[in-house]
Chains A and B, each alone.
Chain A
Amino acid sequence: MAETKLSIPGALVGALVGFGAEIAIREMTGLDIIEGILEIIGAGFGLIRIDKKIYESTVKLLKGIDIQPDDDYQHILKRIDELTIDLPELRESFLRLMEAGVRAKNA
C-alpha cells in the first residue's frame, strides 16, 4: 500500500483557496456558505430538539415563581401578569400550561 504523505503547505494553500472562494461567492451571490454549512451541522447534531428544551425551560420557569401553597388560581394569574407585563409570548405559554394543569386536575 502506498504511503500517504501529508503536506502542510498544501493544506495551507487549500485553506486559502477555500477562503478566497467563500469570499468570492459571498461577493457575487450574497450567500454566506460557511454560515449555511454551520447551520446544517448545528441542526444535524441534535439541535433540532431545541423546541423541546424551550418547552422544558418554560415549565421550569413557571415552577420557579415564588407562590405559597395556599395561593389561589386568581392570585397566581395576577402574579404572572405582573411578571410578564411586556412578554406576550411567554405569558401565553404560561397560561396554556396552567390551563392544561387545571384540566388534568379536574379530569
Chain B
Amino acid sequence: MIGLGTLFRIIKRFAGKPLESTGALPTRYYLHEILRSLDNDDIGEAVKLMRLSKGALVDKPRWEMVRQQIIFRCRVLKDRHHRRIHDIEKRIEGFRRQRKLPWRWFRTEPINKLAEYEKVLALEKQAKDMLEQYEIELRDMAVK
C-alpha cells in the first residue's frame, strides 16, 4: 500500500515543481515547502517561495507566522555572521601588527593566511548583506 505521504511526494515530484513557479498552488503547499527550506537554512529559497505564495485568507495567520519565522532565522544567522566578522577582523588586525615586526618581513606564511582571512571576511560580509536584504523584503511583505 502506498501511503498518503508517498503519494503526495510522487505527485509533487511530477506536478509540484513546474506548477510552483506559477504561484497557482494552494498557500499550504508553499508553507510546507518554506518550512522545509527553513529546516535546511535555505533562506533564499524560503523567501522565493514566500514571494510566490499569495496568502489565502483562510491561511493568513499561518502565512504570517511562517513569515515571522523566516525573519527570526535571518536575524539569528545575521548575528552569527556579525560575530564571525568581528572575530576575523580582530585576527586580520593581529596579522597586520605582526607583519610590522622586522624579522617577519620576508615570511610568506602570514601573508597567505591574511589573504585567506580577507577572502573569508568578504564572504561573511556578503552573506550578512544578503540576509539583511531578505529581512527587509520579508518585512515589506507584511505591509502589502
A38, B25: Cβ atoms under 8 Å? yes
Closest-CB distance, B67 to chain A (whole angstroms): 9
Closest-CB distance, A53 to chain B (whole angstroms): 5
A93 to B76: give the CA distance in the assembly, Å. 17
Q: Provide the residues of chain B in CB contact with A42, threshold 8 Å.
A: 25-26, 28-29
Q: Which of B4-12, B87-95, B105-113, B121-129 contacts A (4 or more CB under 8 A)?
A: B4-12
Interface residues of B, dominant DSSP = helix
B76, A66: Cβ atoms under 8 Å? yes
Q: Provide the residues of chain B in CB contact with A93, threshold 8 Å.
A: 65
| In the complex with contacts A46-B8, A57-B39, A38-B24 CB distance below 8 A | yes
A41 to B12: give the CA distance in the assembly, Å. 12
Q: Provide the residues of chain A in CB contact with B7, threshold 8 Å.
A: 45
Q: Is the C-beta of B86 less than 8 angstroms from some C-beta in chain A?
A: no
Which residues on B are within 8 Å of A, measured CB to CB?
Answer: 4-5, 7-8, 11, 24-26, 28-29, 31-32, 35, 38-39, 56, 59, 61-62, 64-66, 68-69, 71-73, 75-76, 79-80, 139
A46 to B5: give the CA distance in the assembly, Å. 7
A58 to B72: give the CA distance in the assembly, Å. 10
Q: Provide the residues of chain B in CB contact with A43, threshold 8 Å.
A: 26, 28
Closest-CB distance, A64 to chain B (whole angstroms): 6
Closest-CB distance, B68 to chain A (whole angstroms): 4
A57, B26: Cβ atoms under 8 Å? no
Q: Is the C-beta of A11 less than 8 angstroms from some C-beta in chain B?
A: no
A39, B56: Cβ atoms under 8 Å? yes
Which residues in chain A, 41-74, are within 8 Å of chain B measured between CB atoms? 41-43, 45-48, 50-51, 53-54, 57-58, 60-61, 64-66
Closest-CB distance, B46 to chain A (whole angstroms): 11
For A64, give the chain B residue with the smallest CB separation: B76
Could you list 13 examples of A-B contacts with CB < 8 Å? A34-B24, A41-B26, A45-B8, A50-B28, A50-B32, A53-B31, A54-B31, A54-B62, A64-B76, A83-B79, A84-B72, A87-B71, A90-B65
Q: Provide the residues of chain A in CB contact with B72, threshold 8 Å.
A: 61, 83-84, 87, 90
Q: Is the C-beta of A35 less than 8 angstroms from some C-beta in chain B?
A: yes
